[in-house]
Amino acid sequence: MAVVITRIERVEASVVSGFEGIGVATVHEAQDRKGLMAPHLRPIFRPTHVAGSAVTCEVAPGDNWMIHVAVEQCQEGDVLVVVPTSPCVDGYFGDLLAESLRARGVRGLVIEAGVRDVASLTEARFPVWSKAICAQGTVKETLANVNVPVVCGGTVVNPGDLVVADDDGVVVVPRAAAVRVLEKSRAREASEADKRRRFAAGELGLDIYGMRESLAAKGLRYVDRLEDI
Amino acid sequence: MAVVITRIERVEASVVSGFEGIGVATVHEAQDRKGLMAPHLRPIFRPTHVAGSAVTCEVAPGDNWMIHVAVEQCQEGDVLVVVPTSPCVDGYFGDLLAESLRARGVRGLVIEAGVRDVASLTEARFPVWSKAICAQGTVKETLANVNVPVVCGGTVVNPGDLVVADDDGVVVVPRAAAVRVLEKSRAREASEADKRRRFAAGELGLDIYGMRESLAAKGLRYVDRLEDI
Amino acid sequence: MAVVITRIERVEASVVSGFEGIGVATVHEAQDRKGLMAPHLRPIFRPTHVAGSAVTCEVAPGDNWMIHVAVEQCQEGDVLVVVPTSPCVDGYFGDLLAESLRARGVRGLVIEAGVRDVASLTEARFPVWSKAICAQGTVKETLANVNVPVVCGGTVVNPGDLVVADDDGVVVVPRAAAVRVLEKSRAREASEADKRRRFAAGELGLDIYGMRESLAAKGLRYVDRLEDI
Amino acid sequence: MAVVITRIERVEASVVSGFEGIGVATVHEAQDRKGLMAPHLRPIFRPTHVAGSAVTCEVAPGDNWMIHVAVEQCQEGDVLVVVPTSPCVDGYFGDLLAESLRARGVRGLVIEAGVRDVASLTEARFPVWSKAICAQGTVKETLANVNVPVVCGGTVVNPGDLVVADDDGVVVVPRAAAVRVLEKSRAREASEADKRRRFAAGELGLDIYGMRESLAAKGLRYVDRLEDI
Amino acid sequence: MAVVITRIERVEASVVSGFEGIGVATVHEAQDRKGLMAPHLRPIFRPTHVAGSAVTCEVAPGDNWMIHVAVEQCQEGDVLVVVPTSPCVDGYFGDLLAESLRARGVRGLVIEAGVRDVASLTEARFPVWSKAICAQGTVKETLANVNVPVVCGGTVVNPGDLVVADDDGVVVVPRAAAVRVLEKSRAREASEADKRRRFAAGELGLDIYGMRESLAAKGLRYVDRLEDI
Amino acid sequence: MAVVITRIERVEASVVSGFEGIGVATVHEAQDRKGLMAPHLRPIFRPTHVAGSAVTCEVAPGDNWMIHVAVEQCQEGDVLVVVPTSPCVDGYFGDLLAESLRARGVRGLVIEAGVRDVASLTEARFPVWSKAICAQGTVKETLANVNVPVVCGGTVVNPGDLVVADDDGVVVVPRAAAVRVLEKSRAREASEADKRRRFAAGELGLDIYGMRESLAAKGLRYVDRLEDI
C-alpha cells in the first residue's frame, strides 16, 4: 500500500543556486501567479530564504514515522515537504530531525502541520515553514508514501520540483519550468530595480504604469468633496 | 460609479505629533473604549508606533489598482487605510508601493487584506498592519472609491480621522475628537505613571482602586480550601 | 456564588527550579503526552521559558476584576493562569498588572484571552502566553472564582499544579507528579543528547530507532520510480 | 456614558412591505453591492425572509442587559440589531425575549453574537441571524447604547435603516435610499425573470450578456487539448 | 499505558429520565452556568434532545480503534463521549458503529472530531454532536483510554456524569449534582413558563425583572435624539 | 494567458450511473482513502447525492466571468468544479447560472467559494457544495482557465475525473480508476450490509473484526476502577 520512490529527478544545482536571494513574490509573478502555497504556511523565524528540490513525504495524522523514512531519501540541496493525510497540527518535527536533515545538507522543511523545539530550530537557523507550532508529539505506527505527488498548502508538489520559500511564503516551480522561471524572475528583478528608483524619487504608479487613461475610460471621477457627487 | 475625493480635512500636524509615543490602549481608553479595530490587524514587525490622518481606499478583491490612485491623494503625515470590498488575503502591497508612500511622507499602512515583501518592508521599517502576509499578487481591472468612509477591522474610518497604531493594534479617533482625546490620553498617562509606581512598589490593585468593599458587597467569599465551601 | 481559595499547596521550589531550561516538548513526552494546552496559546515574545506553580483565576467575558483579586493570592515562583467563563479576546492584562505580579515574584502569565501593552511587556521581558493581542479594555463588574480547578487551552489546571511554558507552548504537570516527571524529563534529555550527537553525525533515525524491520513488516516497499509499482 | 435614543425615523411601512419577497442578493446588487453584512451571520432556520427598520443595540460581552432596554424601543415592523462591544458568542437571546419582541410586532433579530433556545425559536418561526448558537447565558451588569450607529457584520447600521435578511444573509439599506433601492430591486427582478426564461431555455450567458467579443479581446483562447497550447 | 475502566457509577435511570425535554440552556443556568461544552459541538440534525450517563473514550488522531473498545462498556441509557488526544476532524464514526450503539441502548454520541454517514444517521435519527462532518476514514493502530476523565469542548467529563444535549449544545452535570440540578431545572422551567406568559402578553423585561431603577442608578439616560446628548 | 480546453475525456455514462446511491465515505475507502476534498465544502441542502464527470473552472477572486465560459463546455452528466485563484467567499453562483447548468443536464456544482440564491437553489433541488453562502456579487473582468487541472478542497481534480458528492462531502476519482473503484465500492457495500446486520444484532466490532488479541498484544488493560491501576 505504501511506497518510497527512490529515484527522483531534481532541479540542477546551478539553477537552484540561481534562485538564492530571489523573493517568493517575484518567482510567483514570474510564473504567472501560479504555485503559491496558502498563507497559513509561515516561517518559524524571519528573515529567511531557501531554495531547493522537493522531497515529498506523506504522514498519517499524529504519526511522524514516514519522516524518518523520507530523511534517507534527502540529498544536499533538498527541501523536505511533509503533508498529513488529514489535517493535523501536532509537532511532527523537532531538533533531532533537524540535525538529521542538516547532516544531509537539506536546506529546510515545509510542513502542513505543526513543529516543535522552535527555540532550538531558531537558534540553529534551520528554516521551517509550518501551519502551527505545537509541542504535541507523534507516534510511529502507520505507513504512507514518500516521493509521490502531494498537495501542500493547496498546491501540487511533485518530487524534484523547485521549492522557494521566504518571509512571504512558499512557492513551487515545476522542475521543467525552473530555468525559464529563473530567467523571468531575473528580468523581473531588473525591471523592479528601475521602478523602485522611480517610486523612491516620487514618481507615481499612475504615471510609471500609465494608468490615468484606463482609469478615466472605466469612469473614475475626481471630485473635491463627497457632497459634490 | 467610483470616485476619488480630493479635498479632505486632516487632523492638525501639531495634534498628530502629540500622539507620538502614546499607546493604542491608552488612546482607546481615553475615548471610552471606542474605535478599536479588530485584533486580526497585526503589525508586520514589532515594536512599532505611528499616528497620522487617514486616507481611505477601497479595493476590489484581488485587485490593487485603486491603491495607486490613493497614493496620489496622500500627504506628509498620512496613514493609508485600505479595505477590500469583500474579504481577501492577497498581497496587495509590497516594497514598490512602500517606496512610493515613503516618498510622500506617509507614516504607514493599515490594510484589511494581505501584504508581501515583508522582509524588505521590515528592513526599511515601513510600518504595516495587515490581516495576512501573502505573496499572491493582484490585478488592476476594477474601480473603487478613494476617501469615502469605510469600515476597517469592524470600525468606521472617515477620511482625515486620526489613526494610531502600535504593537497592540489600531485605533481610530474621529477628527473632531482628536484634541480632546489627546488631552485625556495625556491625563491618563500621567495617572498611569503614578499607578505604575505604586504597583511596582507592591501595592495591590485591590487597594489602589479600593475594590475590597464592592467585591464583598457582591458576595465574594474567601475560604481556606475548596472543601470549606 | 464566587469564592477565593486562599490556601493551596504548591510544588516545592527546588522541584520547580529543576524544570528550568527543560523544554515543554520534553516535559510533555515525559508525562506520556498529557497535559499540553492547545497551540493557540502563544508567547508574546521569543525565546522564553518559565516554570511555576499555578494560581488559577476565572474571569467573566470582558471583565478583569478577578485578576486583581488573584494577584493577592500569588507568591514568589507562581504562574498565573486566567480563563474567561466564555470565549473572549479582550485585553485583560497590561503593564500595570505585570508590575504588580512582578513585585510579588510571579514568573509569568498564561491567559486564554487577550493581553495588551505588549511592547512594554516585551521590553520588560515579562512572559505571557495568550490567545490574542488586543487593546480592548475590560470592566470590573462581575465576580468569578480564584484557585478553583479550571480548563485552560483544553487542559485541566488545578491550583498548585506545575506549569511549564516556552516557545513551543504550555504544559501542565499535576502537583503530585512533578517529581516523577522531572526525573523522567532529565532522563529523556540525557538520552536525547546522545541521539542528537548521532543524528548530527549523519546516522539515520531508521537505524538509531531500528525501524527498518517494522516498516518492512507493515509492507513498505521501495521502488525506483512511480511507474514501477 | 450610556444613552437610549428614543426618537428615530423609520422607513415608511409601505416601502418596507415592498421589500417582502425581494431577495438579499437582489437588494445588494440594486444598491451597487454595498451594505452587505459578513457571511458569518447565518439564519437559524431556512427558508426565511424579513424586512424592517433597524433598532440598534450595543451590549457588553457576556451581558444582555441592554437588549431588555432595546425591546421597549421596538415597534411593529422593526428588526432588532444587536452588536457586542467586543467579540462574544454567548447566547444573549432566547425564547422569552423572542416572545417579547413578537408581542411588539418585531420582525426578527440580527445579532453578531450567539443565541439559544433555537428549537423553540425555530418552532415558533421567529427569524434570527446570528454568529453562533450557544447555550451560554449572560449577566445584566453593564450599560451600553441603544439606537446609536453601530457596525454589524462589517457594515454600518444607523437606527431606522432598512434591514433585509434571507437565506443568503443580511443587507442594510440607508433609510434615505430605501425608495430608490426598492425601485431598482424591482427593475432588477423584472429583468432577471426574463433572463431566467432564456437561461432555462438553454441560451448561454455568453450570448445573453454578449461576452464573446470582450473575452476574445482580453485574449481567451479555445484549444482542443492542453497539449495544443 | 492504556486502560479500560470497566466499573463506573452512573446517574440513576429515573433521574436521567427526569431530564427528558429539559433544554440545555435551562440545565446550564440551573447549575450556575457551568459545564457547557464549546459551541463548535453541533448536532448533525435538528431538533434533537438526549440525556444519559457518559462513557468516555479517548482516541488517537485519525484512529478510531478505541471506539470499538468503548462500545462494549456502554449500557442502556448511556451517551458516548469521544475525544481525540490531539485535534482531528476525521470521520471517526459512521452508521455501523451507530447500529452497534443503538443495539446496546445508547442514546447518542458527543465527539470532538468528525463523523460520517450523516445521511444514514439522520434518517435513523441517531443523535450526534460533532465538530465536523467528514468522510475521511481512520485506522486502528493506537491504544488510548476508556472511562477516564476527559476534557471535551473545554469541559471536564467524568465517566458516569450526566450529559444533556439538544439544538443549543451539550452540557455536563457532575453525577453527584444530578438530582439537585434536576430540581433546580424544573423550578426554573416553572418560573420561565410564567414569565413566558407575561412576555407574550406584552409586559417588558424591564418591568418583569424590575430593572429600571438599577439602570438609572448606573447612569442610563434616555434622550430624544443623538444631537440632544 | 488563459485557455479553454474544449475536448476532455469523460467517465463513461454507464460507469457514472453505477455510482448513484454509493456514498462518498464508501468511495473514499474503496480508493484507499484518497481524493477527498476538505470538509469545509458543505452541501447547501441535505440529503443530496450526485456523481458526474468534472468540468473544471478557475475564477479570479470576486469575478465569475469564467463560469459563463465554463457552462458552454458542460454536458449532460457533468459536475462543474469552480476554484478561485486566491481564497474568496463571494457569491459567484446563483439561480440564473443554475438554470443554465440544469438546461445542459449538469448534475451539480462544487465551488471552493460562496454561492447565493440558496433558497431558490434548495427549492429547485440543484445540488451545490460550497465553502460559504454569501450574497456578495462578482464582476466580470478577469480571464482564467477552463478545463485545466485544479486543486479544490486540497485535492487535485483533472477535467473528466469522476466527482461523487453527498451529505458527507466530495470525493474525486481519477477517470482511469473509475471502473475499478466502482467495483471495489460495490464489494465494500456488500460487505458492509452483512456487517450492519451483525452490528444491529448486537455483535461487537471487537469480535466482528477480531480485535481483542491485537489490543491485548499492544498492552490494553481492563481494570475495575481508576484506583486499581
Q: What is the pLDDT of residues B161-199, one digit of tens each?
A: 999 999 999 999 999 999 999 999 999 999 999 999 999
Residue of E199, E209, E214, E228 to mutate for D, most D C-beta atoms under 10 A: E199
Which residue from E47, E206, E215 is facing D119, i.e. has the nearest CB?
E47
Residue B7 C-alpha, separation from nearest chain C C-alpha, in angstroms: 32
What is the per-residue pLDDT across A14-59, written as a single tens digit (0 to 9) for each? 999 999 999 999 999 999 999 999 999 999 999 999 999 999 999 9
The two beta strands, B221-223 and C3-5, are parallel
- Chain mean pLDDT for chain D: 97
pLDDT in tens, A186-207: 999 999 999 999 999 999 999 9
Kindly tell me the sign of the dihedral angle through the C-alpha atoms of A174, A176, A182, A187.
negative
According to the model, what pLDDT value does residue F229 have? 76
Between positions 163 and 222 of C, the ones with CB within 8 A of E are none
* pLDDT of amino acid E227: 82
Q: Cβ F219–E133 below 8 Å, yes or no?
A: no
What lies within 8 Å, CB to CB, of B93 at 6+ separation is: B64, B67, B82, B109, B111, B115, B116, B128, B130
Is the pLDDT at F123 greater than 90? The verdict is yes
What span, in angstroms and rounded, lies between the C-alpha atoms of F68 and F71?
5
Interface predicted TM-score of the whole assembly (ipTM), two decimals: 0.96
CB pairs under 8 A between A and B: 119
Is residue C229's pLDDT more than 90? Answer: no
CB nearest A142 (choices: E86, E88, E141):
E141
Please provide the DSSP assignment of chain D as one string: --EEE-------HHHHHHTTT--HHHHHHHTTS--BPPTT-EESSSS-EEEEEEEEEEE-TTB-HHHHHHHHH--TTEEEEEEESS---SB---HHHHHHHHHTT--EEEEEEEE--HHHHHHTT--EEEEEE-----B------BSS-EEETTEEE-TT-EEEEETTEEEEE-GGGHHHHHHHHHHHHHHHHHHHHHHHTT--HHHHTT-HHHHHHHT-EEESSGGG-
Give the global pTM: 0.97
Instruction: Check if F104 contacts E (Cβ < 8 Å).
Output: no
State pLDDT tens for residues E117-152.
999 999 999 999 999 999 999 999 999 999 999 999
A136 to chain E, any CB pair closer than 8 A? The answer is yes
Residue D229: band (very low, low, confident or very high) from pLDDT cuts 50, 70, 90: confident
Name the burial class of residue A198, with classes exposed (0-12), middle (13-18) and buried (19+) by CB atoms within 10 angstroms of its CB: middle
Q: Kindly report the average pLDDT of chain E as a whole number.
A: 97
A-interface mutation test, from B4, B69, B142, most A Cβ less than 10 A away? B69
> Residue C125: its pLDDT value, please?
98
In the beta sheet, which residues pair with residue B171? B36, B164
Find chains touching chain F: ≥3 CB pairs under 8 Å.
A, B, D, E
Residues of E in contact with C32 (CB under 8 A): 1
Q: F7 pLDDT exceeds 90?
A: yes
CB-CB under 8 Å, D137 with E28: yes
Indicate if the pLDDT at residue B137 is higher than 80: yes
- Nearest residue of E to residue F192, measured between CA atoms: E96
Q: Do chains F and E touch (3 or more CB pairs under 8 A)?
A: yes
D136 touches chain C (CB under 8 A): yes
DSSP letter string over chain E? --EEE-------HHHHHHTTT--HHHHHHHTTS--BPPTT-EESSSS-EEEEEEEEEEE-TTB-HHHHHHHHH--TTEEEEEEESS---SB---HHHHHHHHHTT--EEEEEEEE--HHHHHHTT--EEEEEE-----B------BSS-EEETTEEE-TT-EEEEETTEEEEE-GGGHHHHHHHHHHHHHHHHHHHHHHHTT--HHHHTT-HHHHHHHT-EEESSGGG-
Mean pLDDT, range D78-89, rounded to an integer: 98
From chain F, pick out residues whose CB is under 8 angstroms from the CB of E91. Answer: 25, 168
Which chains share 3+ C-beta pairs under 8 angstroms with E? A, C, D, F
pLDDT band at F227 (very low <50, low <70, confident <90, very high): confident
> Residue B1: which pLDDT band, with cuts at 50, 70 and 90?
confident
The closest CB to that of F154, out of A32, A149, A154, belongs to A154
State the sign of the Cα–Cα–Cα–Cα dihedral B155, B160, B162, B164: positive
**pLDDT confidence tier of residue E45, bands split at 50, 70 and 90:** very high
Identify the pLDDT of residue E219: 96
Q: Which residue of E has its CA nearest to C34?
A: E85
What pLDDT digit, counting tens, does each position of E164-181 carry? 999 999 999 999 999 999
Residue from F159, F136, F163 nearest F58 by CA: F159
Cβ(F57)–Cβ(F81) under 8 Å?
Answer: yes
Report the share of chain F in percent with pLDDT over 90: 98
> pLDDT by residue (tens digit) across F155-214?
999 999 999 999 999 999 999 999 999 999 999 999 999 999 999 999 999 999 999 999
